[in-house]
Amino acid sequence: MKAGTVRFLKKASVALIAASLMALSVPATAGASAVPVAPLPDPFYSAPADIANFAPGDVVRSRPMPNPPNFFGVTTWQLAFRSTNSLGNPIVAVTTVFAPIGKAPDGPLLSYQQIVNALGLKCAPSQALYSTDPDVVIRDAAALNAVFTRGWTVAMPDHLGPNSAYGAAKLGGTIVLDGIRAAQRFDPLQVRNSPVAIAGYSGGGMASAWAAALAPSYAPELNIVGSAQGGVPMNLLKMAMMLGADNPHPVFGLALAAAIGFGREYPQQMPVSENLTPFGTQLMNEMANSCTNDILRIGTNHSANELTNNKSIFDDVEGRAVVLENSLETYAGVPKAPIFDWHSPTDALIPVDSVDNTLNRYCAAGAKVQRLLTPSPDHLSAAVIGLPVALNWLQDRFNGVPAPSNC
């Protein structure tokens, strides 16, 4: 695969396709398990023995950090906090928080969800921000330095969780909300009473959209004034059916990666199958702790038919239910906060009708929804076009301007 293609795929975050393609790629068979994530040697990320005694969002430990490369005018902290996984068990998650120097106390707090396509903990934002990966260092610095000049404190959670459960979208929403709680409970940041907004695109957009949908039931005390979410795949099962996995595909590695991620998060319902062929097992082991470039390289132009014994997860009731459980189109909850949603009307990477169906349901329930269909044909250009509009929309929410709606 050419380097330019890899960069495009990272930026476009077709990783979200993985959460759905895996539904066709790897069947559920009792007794097998996903390759576990390799733990980081840093004890900051470990869960204390009494983690269950902490409330969701409680800060377990904190540390000041140097600013990541090309991040300016901020003080940086990392917080380890208690959250909850998809099975209701306590976990420790991490968020990196940037406080602009001289910001007003209780000024705006933005939870920004980075695009993360990975199975290794070294690829999570709290680690990758300090790497030499230009796509991370340059892309995020460019976006966030503009936000810092607005005086907004920014929290960037590791929303794939402590097992790098790639594809487990609902988990991402829970971690986002608990990361906001942690930031507000950490007094040095001076955001305890701040208005809160949520933002992200593609993979980050899915975690953001789930956070907005879960907030009324999971974190009703948070003063979330708006969620700006772009390029969100709202139905992972439908995406699987739309894209298929019978033929070799250039990003098939992301499909297998999502199978591994789901297996980590749902070890009983979604085990990585014993029906994998020896070659499938080899690829799974090779990519089990990889970041995007290696996942793409390892899986390039392979297919489910090569890696499995041709049994589909659509034959398995539990596996199908897990994929739907992580699909917003089939989740009954409705965000209370206003929504700004943007995407290309011809985005070939997400089922656009599922976006429409989900937003229409929100509108019917009385939610304020502002939609932007970008004048662009694809996923990547829509991200670039919509971001400035999204930031201005969020600024209005922080300023108390009533949210518009084009329901």
> Above 80 in pLDDT, residue 226?
yes
Q: Domains (ranges, CATH) in the chain? A: 11-235+325-398 (3.40.50.1820)
Q: Can you tell me which residue has the tokens 């293609």?
A: 5
CB-based contact 113:204 (threshold 8 Å): yes
* DSSP secondary structure string for all residues of 278-342: HHHHHHHHHHTT--HHHHHHHHTTB-HHHHB-S--GGG-HHHHHHHHHT-GGG-----SS-EEEE
Give the integer Cα–Cα distance in Å for 294 and 163. Answer: 18
Q: Are strands 109-113 and 153-157 parallel, antiparallel or unpaired?
A: parallel
Q: Quickly tell me which residue has 């699987």 as its tokens.
A: 240
Angle at 339 between CA 341 and CA 207, to 5 degrees: 75
Distance of CA 363 to the CA centre of its chain: 24
CA 365 to chain CA centroid, Å, is 25
Task: Say whether pLDDT at 3 is over 50.
Answer: no
* Pairing mode, strands 109-113 and 369-373: unpaired
Q: What is the pLDDT of residue 26?
A: 37
- Residue 383 near residue 333 (C-beta atoms within 8 A): no
pLDDT value of residue 27: 36
Give the model's confidence band at 312: pLDDT under 50 very low, under 70 low, under 90 confident, else very high. low
Q: Would you state the torsion angle of the CA atoms of residues 229, 235, 240, 242, taken in this order, to the nearest 10 degrees? A: -90
As a whole number of angstroms, the distance between CA 167 and CA 116 comes to 10
Count Cβ atoms within 10 A of the Cβ of residue 41 and give its class: 0-12 exposed, 13-18 middle, 19 or more buried.
Answer: exposed
Residue 217, Cβ density class (10 Å: 0-12 exposed, 13-18 middle, ≥19 buried): exposed
- H or E element in which residue 182 lies: helix 169-185
- Write down the pLDDT at residue 310: 59
Range name among 127-131, 269-273, 312-316 with the lowest pLDDT average: 312-316
Confidence (pLDDT) at 56: 98
- CA–CA separation, 186 vs 402, rounded Å? 29
pLDDT band at 235 (very low <50, low <70, confident <90, very high): confident
Mean pLDDT across 371-379: 90
Mean pLDDT of 159-184: 96
| Rounded Cα–Cα distance for residues 127 and 134 (Å) | 14
Mean pLDDT of the chain: 86
More confident residue, 112 or 309: 112
H or E element at residue 127? helix 125-128
Q: What is the pLDDT of residue 129?
A: 93
Distance, C-alpha 305 to centroid of its chain: 28
pLDDT of 1 > 70? The answer is no
Measured in whole angstroms, how far is the alpha carbon of residue 89 from the centre of its chain? Answer: 19
Pairing of strands 224-230, 339-343: parallel
Q: What percentage of the chain exceeds 70 in pLDDT?
A: 86
- pLDDT at position 156: 98
Beta bridge mates, 196: 109, 224
**Bigger pLDDT: 107 vs 9:** 107
Contacts 24+ apart (CB under 8 A), 384-387: 385/342, 386/201, 386/230, 386/342, 386/343, 387/143, 387/201, 387/230
pLDDT at 23: 33
Higher confidence at residue 306 or residue 106? 106
Banded pLDDT at 257 (limits 50, 70, 90): confident
User: Is residue 300 very low, low, confident or very high in pLDDT (cuts 50, 70, 90)?
Assistant: confident
- Can you tell me the distance from the alpha carbon of 67 to that of 266, in angstroms, rounded to the nearest whole number? 35
Q: Give the closest residue to 72 by CA, choosing from 102, 104, 115, 105.
A: 102
Q: Would you say residue 254 has pLDDT above 80?
A: no
- Which of 6-20, 144-158, 325-339, 379-393 is the least confident region? 6-20
**273 falls in which pLDDT band (50, 70, 90)?**
low
pLDDT, tens digit (0-9, with 9 covering 90-100), for 22-67? 333 333 333 345 688 999 999 999 999 999 999 999 999 999 999 9
Q: Which pLDDT score, from 0 to 100, does residue 11 have?
A: 33
Q: Which of 30-44, 194-208, 241-255, 258-272 has the lowest mean pLDDT?
A: 241-255
Q: Which pLDDT value is given to residue 41?
A: 95
